[in-house]
Amino acid sequence: MHILHLTDAYSHGEGSIGHAIDTCRRGLDLQGIRSTLVAPDSGSSPVNPDRIAIPARLLPGGGELRLLNWSALSAGVALALRGGVDAIHVHSPLLAHAAGARLAARHGVPLLVSWHGPVEALLPGLDRYLPGAAARRLGRQLTLARCRAAHCVVAASERIGSRLVSYGVRGRIEVVPEGIDPAHFAAGDGRAFRARHALDADRALALLTGPRGAQAHGDDAQWPFLLDTIEQLRAQSPRLQILLAGEMEGADRVRYRVRAAGLASHVRVVGLDSRPRALADCYAACDLMALASRDDADADAVLRAMAAGLPVVAIAHQGAPDVLRRARGVRLTPDTAPALAQVVGRLAANPRQLALLSREARAECRHWSQATMAERLADIYASLRPQATRRDLPPVSRIHAARVKTG
């Protein structure tokens, strides 16, 4: 089987669309499925016959999406089609989608459309250039238009799938998270990390995070709850060390906010690069992760931490990632900072309970692995082939398809 992937996304850092596609393709390779990627030229990508780089321009307000050169894009997809493809899988809503839909219709090939986030997140400039209501209306219209031609829509989470249904998408929707490779995060050097950042080796350390890493910590809407959680942790568990860690570019802003709140002596802020080794060292240094967020938390960050054996404490709310609501190794608390801090403090003071939850977290990650998610996606591809006999998909992948059919 040969799958053609198309995207307007430029970045390949952790949490990006490009990273999700790379993870997907590695998993498909393990399933014996060949894939070719047509994507913007990053300028540093090595020559690869299974990756076709397309010249692209910066798109104001487009986030990680770029404006592809249409002539080069048309030539690139024509080159990829020479060997024949079994499906076209589009991962972004701009010119890559237009090219994919056009080719799928012309050649009678199944078209899949992946949503790695809502349009508002993929195109942050919508809110900058349009009033809120107009931006939401345009986002909804663009989403519906892009889903209309698809034989199957693939949502990266149940929350995204639910949003697609609420927008009015009426077709087959399958939920397939990105998945991770647990081995990348299971052998970090926690001692070295603590030594580098002057963290006490004998005191418990809690990794405190918000909805989308360090940059989100600086977001005004999220900061009060995060500050309140830190204050509660300091009051309830004075010996507990607190770590805020995330992308390096957001670290200085976070340090400023911590100092302005008078909490610099109680919180260590660390900027990390996106290499798995750096993240693994950070996770290995910590005893648990606490999600101080009422917003949509980063499910991939949760899975990476669990792969390293970190128990996760989070508030129970509607936007909680699927993994939090289903997984072992997780403790959910009422939606208040004191309740969150209380559970974190109790766990940090109970090594036996931490060890039990750590084992559960590592075991749970196997159900969310890159290989497992790739197998689900391979089943979907197979089901779209002419006269294919569809194998039963895991329950999590059927949930939104069932809702659409009965709605």
Q: Does residue 383 share a domain with residue 277?
A: no
If pLDDT is split at 50, 70 and 90, which confidence band does 283 have?
very high
* Least confident window among 1-10, 322-331, 347-356: 322-331
Q: Which residues of 7-36 are buried (b: 16+ CB within 10 A; e: fewer)?
A: bbbbbbebbbbbbbbbbbbebbeeeebebb
pLDDT tens digits, one per residue of 87-122: 999 999 899 999 999 999 999 999 999 998 887 777
Q: Does residue 231 share a domain with residue 136?
A: no
385 vs 230, which has greater pLDDT?
230
pLDDT at 383 over 60: yes
Over residues 346-368, mean pLDDT: 91
153 vs 45, which has greater pLDDT?
153
Q: What is the mean pLDDT of the chain?
A: 82
> What gap in Å lies between CA 101 and CA 89, rounded to an integer?
10
pLDDT (0 to 100) of residue 392: 40
119 vs 40, which has greater pLDDT?
40
CA 246 → CA 198, 253, 279, distances in Å? Answer: 17, 11, 9
Q: Does residue 395 share a domain with residue 350?
A: no
Q: Does residue 238 share a domain with residue 160?
A: no
Q: Does residue 206 share a domain with residue 324?
A: yes
pLDDT (0 to 100) of residue 295: 61
Over residues 184-210, mean pLDDT: 90
pLDDT (0 to 100) of residue 341: 94
* Least confident window among 74-78, 170-174, 242-246: 242-246
In this structure, are residues 109 and 386 in contact, taking their beta carbons and an 8 Å threshold? no
pLDDT (0 to 100) of residue 287: 96
Helix axes 17-30, 370-384, angle to 10 degrees: 80
CATH number at residue 330: 3.40.50.2000
Q: Does residue 243 share a domain with residue 174?
A: no
pLDDT (0 to 100) of residue 11: 65
Domain total of the chain: 2
Over residues 1-13, mean pLDDT: 85
34-40/66-68 β-pairing: unpaired
Structure tokens, 232: 């509660």
Over residues 395-405, mean pLDDT: 37
Tell me the residue range of the domain where 168 lies: 2-179+369-406
If pLDDT is split at 50, 70 and 90, which confidence band does 311 have?
very high
In this structure, are residues 146 and 122 in contact, taking their beta carbons and an 8 Å threshold? no
> What gap in Å lies between CA 214 and CA 197, rounded to an integer?
17
SS3 269: strand
One-letter amino acid identity for 354?
L
The verdict on pTM exceeding 0.95 is no
Q: What is the DSSP string of 108-154?
A: T--EEEEESS-HHHH-THHHHHS-HHHHHHHHHHHHHHHHHT-SEEE
pLDDT at 2 over 90: yes
Q: Does residue 296 share a domain with residue 190?
A: yes
Q: Does residue 354 share a domain with residue 261?
A: yes
Q: Does residue 251 share a domain with residue 110?
A: no
pLDDT tens digits, one per residue of 206-257: 999 865 543 444 445 667 888 889 999 999 999 999 998 876 556 777 887 8
378 vs 47, which has greater pLDDT?
378
Report the side by side order of strands in the sheet with 288-291: 267-272, 241-247, 205-209, 288-291, 312-315, 330-333
Q: Does residue 281 share a domain with residue 376?
A: no
If pLDDT is split at 50, 70 and 90, which confidence band does 396 have?
very low
pLDDT tens digits, one per residue of 18-36: 888 988 898 899 889 999 9
pLDDT at 198 over 60: yes
Q: Does residue 198 share a domain with residue 282?
A: yes
> What gap in Å lies between CA 30 and CA 36, rounded to an integer?
15
Q: Does residue 394 share a domain with residue 332?
A: no
